[in-house]
Amino acid sequence: MTLYDDPNRECVGLSPIWGGADRDNVPQASGATAGIPGTWTPAGTDPPANLAAMSGVTASPSSAWTTGQYMQTALTGAPGRVTWTGSAWVGGVAP
């Protein structure tokens, strides 16, 4: 077993706990701009974990998003895609 005294190096094959989509001291996105995929705002913020964590995120535009538009949450792949209907966040890509 190898242990390191340097907190920036991986230890025993595990990634540091401060990496990834839930980094400490990084605010969560408060806005989402439609796209394929869309962008989180403000820049540099972390995406919400999943659909359930989308409450409080403001969609731009506020009208229903057009065909193919979605946001990718921290949940990877198709299960992490969400779109705005004009009144609520739903899972998937805009029809």
Alpha-carbon gap, residue 56 to 53, rounded angstroms: 8
Single out the residue of 31, 34, 29 nearest to residue 69, CA to CA.
Answer: 34
Please tell me whether the overall predicted TM-score, pTM, comes out greater than 0.95 for this model: no
Q: Are strands 31-33 and 58-60 parallel, antiparallel or unpaired?
A: parallel
Could you identify the residue written with the tokens 């996105």? 29
Q: What are the tens digits of pLDDT across the range 28-64?
A: 999 999 999 999 999 999 999 999 999 999 999 999 9
Alpha-carbon gap, residue 5 to 7, rounded angstroms: 6
Residue 36 pLDDT: 97
Q: Where are the domains of the chain?
A: 31-91
